[in-house]
Structure 1
């Protein structure tokens, strides 16, 4: 789309508002402040799109709602790693909402296109400012003076009222960020980034790049025998492997363990990673096979659907086998961040295989957007589910059933794990929570930079403080004692 000629005044004001919100709220950490900062930028993009004559479509709304929903993860969960993944997904899905896209080039490049709008957005805003301020100083200068006077009055009288009444001062400190001269440079940086982000989003909404128009040369169609022979051999190999797996899955573990000399947990650990790689490679093989598939006649298309459909079905058995092995592995050693992450990846790969099969039956026009949407929703569900809380819950349940627990690992979890760890008996409870209690000591972050998980953890620890004595030694854990004030 042709670059817009004039920036709407509402876009300039919302960009300024976005910069102020970023400067005030993003200095102290992340929480609901990320969502509050994104809202003015989304408003600026919406205004620019409406002025430009763009109408919201169903998929645009899906991408926009999903993007903003991803920012609920740092607002609700304290764990930094799922929050980081959710924020990365937010930028990709938000960029896709601004660009749109149906084909693979559109949905893949559209997720990155907003970054290319930063510099054009600055030029767009500067041109608009020059056009609006030239010869109009009598109109905007009094408004600027009025805003400056209002800010000064609020600061002066707010400070006086805070000094006159302790209750008002406490209320004000809980709402207004605590600003010092030392953090002024960082807040300036946050302000600039907030303004640039809003301008880039608005410019993209006003003049999106049509990545769907990028031409991708189709692969050269192969002959039936040349194309089908390697895939049929691969399918036979899958079938043989799955026959063994089905035997094991339905009760043949003891025989396999006796023949291999492996323990129950070793057998589960040995195969999961290989099966995960098999699933990844199978997705790549299917993509390449579709690129080089014979497609001249109805018979060719039937052959492609039959062979690839068989491979997809057999791959789903591989996915089930991998997840079963992970279940055994977790039962033997407990749930960890790595294990829950790769299990989530394996589940999504299984869903991807199902989507590919559905595309073979109903057509593939919807497949690119469905794949990206499934990934975005996966990040959202993964973050909102609270992985650290699930890990703690599983470890505590495992301890109740077997008496085994990895207290050293649990000490590194986030505040999301506190409600589950609070179920442990002493001294295991205090040993597992000592490091978290140390990290959560004091007043903590302001409300806008604090997650719901952190608030819940503080309530639990305030109701039942941890034992500050040498509980880890009594629990059998050495070298991890932190003295909690």
Structure 2
């Protein structure tokens, strides 16, 4: 333990370098994000943040691993979506996903490696660096300032002077804010300050003060986060060597294979009957072979959510059986595997039935964000079922790792597939066959879809010109600062100007 702590200890010069770098990083963060929308600023800051973390953790960086490289590529690709696309829903989701993935990646690169990357403990370790390790190092800068300012003062006087210095550091920004607020709120108080240099009376709680607070706050955030990796909390070695208390031993969940087989047989009987009845309607619905008394629209809408829910329940059941069922005799194990294959097959048919119902519903009522994302989720659930089917045959397959990689890759694909463009394309294709179109909804799609709508309006003799003029006015009013630059918005504005103004 001592050797490890001494290895991770850095000299005072490294502390000052790290703190100054945190100030610079906070200045960059303030310049890129304060008062600006997200755009090219996102990938720039992600790269600068990685450079900051790597500069002070080079000696803790392990050999490169495939999951580390994959995470970095995914993080950069998600950051680039703020430059390439203009989808507001994914903007919000990515604003949550990028910090979460960076936190896990930082632990993978510079953490103490308490857990494998596919274990849930990695999430807890990442969260501990956000909260516990950060909180531990809030006082570190004040302590180092005190040592630098009073190196030769006696201990008692040093403690008192240090506390006074800390109090002043806390009071000064508060005093600045309070005085500026009072001076702005009350003319008499402002007049009272007339004896003080005139510039104090002109203080206002404006952009400059907010920027200063922003820089101070994020300086401490960045420094404390970095220092949590440089000086992690020492482990409680005494607690580690203590014998386990038998009363608190974790309970191993195991299902008896006979019970598992019984549950699977009962459920599969119901599913097989349901699937047999579905086949007639499933493959004949487009030719009019619908249940008696059910219209086309009713069939498309009815039971879709229930089918997807049942498929999800089957998936959870399958994973539970694969993970927690005890190994039985050869015959019993083969029977359970066969029953699981039947469950996968029935689930696949139900998923396909729900998928076709959704396609029919979209053909009748149009394409929207929600319906498109449900499509994506159903395809994703189908891939999960396929991997689970492979796991039935290959018992050693690390299911959690495959699922985590699939989740990350699928999320990036959803970002890059161009949701708004696909929605616009499908609705315009539906218009060609039905002559029905919701212009108001299409005009509300993000800037990604504007080129398609311009092309449609040009071919349809200005069918959407009025709505496109409104979009041009709104785009013209948007911020033009370079940190908020977005290629999709820029391209849409240029094409709208070429189409409407010329």
TM bucket (normalised to shorter chain) is: 0.7 to 0.9
Q: Distance in 2 between matches of 1:68 and 1:193?
A: 25
Is residue 345 of structure 1 aligned with residue 377 of structure 2?
yes
Question: 2:327 is matched with which residue?
Answer: 295
* DSSP 3-state at the match of 1:422: helix
| CA apart distance, 1:245 | 3.3
Match of 1:480 in 2: none
Q: Call closer, same or farther: CA 1:462–1:189 in 2, change over 3 Å.
A: farther
Cα 1:53–1:377 change in 2 (3 A) is: closer
Matches within 5 A, 1:168-207: 182-192=206-216, 194-196=218-220, 198-199=222-223, 202-203=226-227, 205-206=229-230
Contact kept in structure 2, 1:44 and 1:198, CA below 8 Å = no
Could you report, residue by residue, the CA deviation over 1:367-389 in whole angstroms, capped at 9, with x for unpaired residues? 22322222222222212222122
Aligned residue for 1:276? Answer: 308
Q: Which runs of 5+ in 1 are unaligned?
A: 137-179, 468-485
Report the TM-score, using the length of structure 1 for normalisation.
0.76
What are the residue-to-residue correspondences of 1:235-274 with 2, within 5 Å? 235-254=268-287, 256-257=289-290, 259-263=292-296, 265-274=297-306
Return the offset for 1:415: 1.4
Q: Does 1:233 align with 2:240?
A: no
Matched position secondary structure for 2:290: helix
Distance 1:225 1:252, change over 3 A: same
Matched residue, 1:386: 418
How far did 1:408 drift? 2.2
**1:437, distance to aligned residue in structure 2 (A):** 2.2
**Aligned equivalents of 2:333, 2:136: Cα separation in 1:** 45
**1:364/1:97 Cα in 2 relative to 1: closer, same or farther (>3 Å)?**
farther
Give me the CA root mean square deviation. Answer: 3.4
Equivalent residue, structure 2, for 1:433: 468
Which structure 1 residue ranges, 4+ long, deviate > 6 Å from structure 2?
Answer: 128-134, 207-210
TM superposition shift of 1:419: 0.8
Q: Which residue of 2 aligns with 1:22?
A: 29
Q: Which of 311, 325, 331 lines up with 2:363 in the alignment?
A: 331
CA deviations over 1:99-130 (Å, ceiling 9, x no partner): 23344323554564542343245455666666
Displacement after TM superposition at 1:68 (Å): 2.2
Distance in 2 between the 1:85 and 1:458 partners? 25
Question: Which residue of the partner structure matches residue 50 of structure 1?
Answer: 58
Q: Deviations over 1:121-147 (max 9, x none)?
A: 5455666666778769xxxxxxxxxxx
Q: Which residue of structure 2 aligns with residue 106 of structure 1?
A: 121
Aligned match of 1:80 in 88, 91, 108?
88
Change (3 A) 1:329 1:119: same
Give, in angstroms, the shift of residue 230 of structure 1: 1.7
User: How many residues of Structure 1 are paired with residues of Structure 2 in the alignment?
Assistant: 420
Distance change in 2, residues 1:443/1:93 (3 Å): closer
**Structure 2: stretches of 5+ with no match in the other structure:** 109-115, 153-203, 241-247
Conservation of the 8 A alpha-carbon contact between 2:439 and 2:464: no
State which structure, 1 or 2, has the greater radius of gyration over its C-alpha atoms: 2
Q: Output the CA distance in 2 between the equivalents of 1:216 and 1:188.
A: 52
Q: Output one character per residue of 1:37-82: Cα deviation in whole Å (capped at 9) or x when no partner.
A: 2222212332344223533322122212212221111221112111
Q: 1:463 maps to what in 2? A: 498
Structure 1 residues 34, 84: CA separation in 2 closer, same or farther (over 3 Å shift)?
A: same
User: What CA deviation, in whole Å up to 9, does each residue of 1:218-237 have, x standing for no partner?
Assistant: 64323333222122222222
1:89 deviates by 1.8
For the 8 Å contact 1:411–1:434, the answer to whether it is kept is no
CA-to-aligned-CA distance 1:137-193 (integer Å, 9 cap, x gap): xxxxxxxxxxxxxxxxxxxxxxxxxxxxxxxxxxxxxxxxxxx98323443454345
